[in-house]
């Protein structure tokens, strides 16, 4: 049995979390030297006897009560040697890396699961040596920095994986900073209960497999502003390709039937969006705008002739031909009625009506 009078950890490296004293027996009256950035923990038979803070300590029955004369005599060592583990634990801050792969939902309205691959960094320090040994690393056969680092990495991977599995892929991907803060807040208590203070957690990157990335891209295009029109144009393009490669017959007939309907829907949606945008811009600037019912051009309100196509405004036409109205009323459908694609006042489409009404059914403005 090798005996020494001084127990200390002198050669600690910058990344060393802990160190186990390599002697199996400790003599009473030995000098224990603990640096200010360390703890020294005495363990016997799997139980923690005591924890020493920084300073110089003499090992006696005063600071380790279990050491009694009866115990010393039972060992048979007149000098008072006893069997115990001495583990030094650093109080310093340490850096670590993590990386996971888990399955998550894409978004709230896209429940299909996709693989999420993510990695990042974290900083931690040991906060409570007793909890750290009993709750975190107590099951390890030996205590080395390498083993503890591997165990901590495995533990944080598990915690982050469980947390991110409850999140949406797009929420994490679109705001890594917010996702990092949320993850830290959600798992730091688990570390604290095991004697470790999680100082910082950062998500550096989030990705998925290529085939899923393509689906997510198309989903984002569809849900974005103008996404529905983008999708419909894509369907029309696919139909055009199919018709171009077919031998004719039903495919051509279907294409001729569907293309005008889809194009009309797209045109109406675009016109309505343009009208809404135009009205908002006019209201904000104090200069109201109105759309030409013939070409869709935007003019200042009121206007006499469209600056795009040159045709007169509805009010101008009414002033130029005041006598034409009785004739039109006496002979409906006789050719004097105006034909508008859109209401010049509210922009709503009138193409679905059999003819242009006298008053707009949407805003009640006079059209004839």
Minimal CA–CA distance to 341: which of 272, 246, 277? 272
Residue 340: what pLDDT? 80
pTM for the full predicted model: 0.57
What is the rounded distance in angstroms from the CA atom of residue 321 to the CA atom of residue 223?
49
Residue 363: what pLDDT? 77
> 151, 136 in Cβ contact below 8 A?
yes
Q: What is the CATH number of domain 94-212?
A: 3.30.479.30
Per run of 10 residues, the mean pLDDT along the chain (length 368 residues) is 73 91 83 94 87 91 56 50 87 95 89 91 96 85 85 94 93 94 95 95 94 82 59 60 55 47 55 62 68 79 81 72 44 59 81 79 77
Peptide bond into 302 cis (omega under 30): yes
| CA distance between the termini of the chain | 114
Residue 68: what pLDDT? 47
Q: Which strand (E) or helix (H) includes residue 126?
A: strand 110-126
Burial class (CB in 10 A: 0-12, 13-18, 19+), 368: middle
């Amino acid at each position: 049995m090798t005996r020494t009078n001084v127990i200390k950890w002198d050669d600690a490296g910058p990344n060393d979390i802990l160190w186990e004293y390599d002697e199996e027996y400790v003599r009473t009256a030995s000098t224990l030297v603990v640096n200010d950035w360390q703890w020294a923990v005495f363990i016997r038979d799997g139980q923690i006897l005591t924890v020493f803070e920084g300073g110089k300590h003499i090992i006696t029955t005063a600071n380790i009560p279990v050491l009694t004369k009866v115990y010393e005599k039972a060992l048979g060592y007149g000098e008072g040697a006893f069997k115990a583990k001495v583990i030094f634990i650093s109080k310093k801050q340490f850096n670590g890396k993590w990386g996971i792969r888990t399955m998550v939902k894409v978004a709230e309205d896209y429940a299909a699961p996709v693989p999420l691959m993510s990695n990042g960094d974290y900083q931690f320090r040991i906060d409570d040596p007793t909890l750290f040994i009993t709750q975190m690393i107590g099951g390890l056969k030996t205590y080395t920095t390498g083993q503890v680092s591997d165990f901590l990495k495995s533990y944080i991977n598990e915690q982050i994986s469980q947390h991110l599995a409850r999140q949406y892929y797009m929420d994490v991907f679109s705001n890594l900073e917010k996702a990092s803060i949320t993850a830290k807040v959600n798992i730091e208590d688990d570390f604290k209960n095991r004697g470790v203070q999680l100082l910082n957690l950062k998500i550096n990157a989030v990705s998925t497999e290529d085939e899923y990335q393509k689906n997510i891209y198309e989903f984002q295009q569809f849900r974005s502003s103008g996404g529905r029109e983008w999708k419909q144009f894509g369907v029309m393009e696919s139909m055009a390709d199919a018709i171009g490669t077919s031998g004719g017959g039903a495919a051509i007939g279907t294409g001729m039937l569907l293309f005008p309907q889809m194009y009309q829907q797209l045109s109406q949606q675009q016109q309505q969006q343009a009208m809404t945008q135009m009205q908002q811009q006019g209201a904000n600037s104090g200069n109201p705008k109105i759309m030409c019912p013939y070409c869709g051009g935007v003019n200042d309100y009121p206007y006499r002739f469209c600056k795009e196509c040159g045709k007169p405004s509805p009010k101008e036409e009414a002033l130029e031909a005041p006598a034409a109205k009785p004739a039109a009323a006496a002979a409906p459908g006789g050719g004097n009625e105006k034909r508008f694609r859109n209401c010049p006042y509210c922009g709503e489409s009138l193409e679905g009506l059999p003819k242009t009404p006298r008053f707009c059914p949407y805003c009640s403005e006079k059209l004839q």
